[in-house]
Amino acid sequence: MKNKLLLIIIFCFFLKPGISYSLVEIDITRGNLDPLPISVSPFFIDDTSKEKIKKNLDIDNLGLEISKVIENNLRKTGLFDTLNKESFLQKPDIAHLKPRFEDWALIKSQVLITGKVSSKIINEKDYIRIEFKLWDILGAKMVDGFSLTTVPTNWRRVGHKISDKVYERLTGESGYFDTRIIYVAEEGPKTQRVKKLAIMDQDGFNTKYLTLGNELVLTPRFNPTNQMVTYLSYFRNMPRVYLLNIETGKQEVVGDFPGMTFAPRFSPDGKKIIMSLAKDGNSEIWVRNLETNIQEKLTDHPSIDTSPSYSPDGKYITFNSDRSGYQQIYVMRSDGSKVKRISFGKGIYGTPVWSPRGDLIAFTKLHKGKFFIGVMRTDGTGERLLTENFYQEAPSWSPNGRIIIFYRETKTDDKGQGFSAKLWSIDLTGYNERLVSTETDASDPSWSSLLGN
C-alpha cells in the first residue's frame, strides 16, 4: 500500500513480562462459553494534541477512537465481554497512571486496557505517539504495554497492534488484527456481475479498490509478505493468472501457457505460484518459479485437477480432483509424487486450504444440496463441519489458524431477486460465526499474514 511505512518504531516495551504470570488466561480451544470481562478505557489525550490531531485527521477525540478499535476487535473474537464505558469510574489519565483496582473490580472487570495519545513533531513533520498498558485487575498489576510513534494516518493500525498484543498476552496465541483481507467486490445483477479486486483492513475499514471492474477478476491471494497478489483476470477475454504488486499497481501475466490458467496460490516462501492450466478439456496442476521462470506440470490425469494449496513447510500440496468420479481432496508431495486421496466422507469436497499451523485442511463440502465449510486432519481423519448453508465456499485461514473466513451467497426467489454475496468468518471451534462487513457484496476472501512494522 502506498502508506507503507509505517509504524516507525520506537517499539519499547515498558516491561518484559518474564516472570509476571498473568492470572487471567483464556482457553481458546473451546467454544466461547464464558467471555472474559474486559474494560478498554478511552485513551487519554491532552488538549493541545487533540487540537492538532483534529486538524490532521478531522477526528475529535483520537484517544476514544483508538479505544473503540481495540474494543471492537476484542469483542468480535467472542472471547471477551467488553464492558460499557459509561460504567467506568476512573478518568482515563488517572487510570493510565495507576488504576484504582477496586473500582474496576466493582464493575466485574478482570482486565483493563489504558493508554495515552500525544502529538509530536519530528523533522517538522507531524507524528503521533501512542502508549498503552494492560492491567490485571485481580492481580492488581500491570502485565504488558508498549509505546510507538507513527504518522497520524496510521492510527487504526496502532489500535490493531495493541489488540494483537492483548490477544497474545491473554490467550497465548499470536494475534490476527493487524492484517488485511483481499477479496472480490461485486456489484450489479447476478447475470452481469461487475467484479473488482478490493483490499481492506481485517475489521472492514480502509477499503481500496485495485481494479476498475472492466474485466472479470477472481480468486485473489496474498503472498507471504502481503505485497503481491496473484489472481485470475479475464483481461482481453483471456483468462490467465496474474501477479499484482499492491504498492506499485504493476501487474503482469504469470507464465506463458497455451490455455486458461486459474486457481493460483503462492508457495509459503513466495517464490512460486501453483495453479491449474486447462487445455483441451483437461485441467492439470502446474507450478511456476517466479525467480527462474521455470514452469512444471505436477499432475498427469485426464480428470479435473485444481484448487492446489501448499502445506506451510512447502513439502506437500493438497488439491481437488474428480479422478474418482466426484470432486475429492487429495494430497501429494510438492514434486507431484505420492498422490493420495484423503476425503472419504459422504458428499463431494472442494477448495482444500492448508492451515498455517500445518495440522488441518479447510474445505468446502456439498452434501444433500447444502454447502458446508469444514476442516479435517491432513490425513483425512477427524472431519468436522463448522457451518452449513445454501451456498458457501472458499475458506481462507487467519494467520494464527484460529479463524476461517469464507463467502456465502443467498438463494434467489422465483424472479431471480434477492441475491447477495457476503464474507463471513467462523472460529475453528465452530462458534462465533460473524458477518464481515464490506462496502459492497464480496467473495473470494484471502487473509494476509500479520503486517510488519
Partner 1 sequence: MSLSKILKNAFLVIIFGLIITACATKKSVKTTTETTTETSTTTKAADTQKADPIKKLDALMQGDVYIGSDTVGELASGVPDRVFFATNETILTTASRETLRKQAAWLRQNSDVTVVVEGHADERGTREYNLALGERRANAAKDYLMTYGVSSDRIKVLSYGKERPVDSGSNPLSWSKNRRSVTVKAN
Is residue 325 part of the contact set for partner 1 (CB under 8 A)? yes
**Phi, psi torsion values for 163, nearest 5 degrees:** -60, -45
Q: What angle do CA 226, 337, 345 make, to 5 degrees?
A: 80
Bond from prior residue into 6 cis (ω within 30 degrees of 0): yes
Choose, by CB under 8 A, the member of 7, 278, 375, 423 that binds partner 1.
Answer: 278
**Distance between CA 234 and CA 217 in Å, rounded?**
6
Residue with smaller CB distance to partner 1, 216 or 450: 216
Asked if residues 277 and 261 have their Cβ atoms less than 8 Å apart, the reply is yes
Total of chain residues touching partner 1, rule CB under 8 A:
53
Residue reference for cell 498455517:
356
Is residue 219 part of the contact set for partner 1 (CB under 8 A)? yes
**Phi, psi torsion values for 128, nearest 5 degrees:** -120, 145
User: Scanning residues 374 to 393, which ones bind partner 1 (CB under 8 A)?
Assistant: 390-391, 393
Question: How long a stretch of residues is the chain?
Answer: 453
By CB under 8 A, which span of 51-59, 77-85, 322-330, 422-430 interacts with partner 1? 322-330
Residue with smaller CB distance to partner 1, 328 or 400: 328
Choose, by CB under 8 A, the member of 6, 24, 140, 366 that binds partner 1.
Answer: 366
Binding mask 58-97 for partner 1 (x = CB under 8 A): ----------------------------------------
Provide, rounded to whole angstroms, the least separation between the CB of residue 416 and partner 1.
3
Taking the alpha carbons of 193, 303, 311, 361 in that order, is the dihedral positive or negative? positive
By CB under 8 A, which span of 111-119, 139-147, 202-210, 408-416 interacts with partner 1? 408-416
Helix (H, G, I), strand (E, B) or coil at 282: strand
Asked if residues 399 and 449 have their Cβ atoms less than 8 Å apart, the reply is yes
Choose, by CB under 8 A, the member of 31, 172, 189, 382 that binds partner 1.
Answer: 189
**Distance between CA 425 and CA 176 in Å, rounded?**
13
Is residue 309 part of the contact set for partner 1 (CB under 8 A)? no
Taking the alpha carbons of 8, 9, 10, 12 in that order, is the dihedral positive or negative? positive
Binding region for partner 1 (CB under 8 A): 189-193, 216, 218-219, 232, 237, 239, 259-260, 262-263, 276, 278, 280-283, 304, 306-307, 320, 322, 325-327, 348, 350-351, 364, 366-370, 390-391, 393-394, 409, 411-417, 419, 443-444
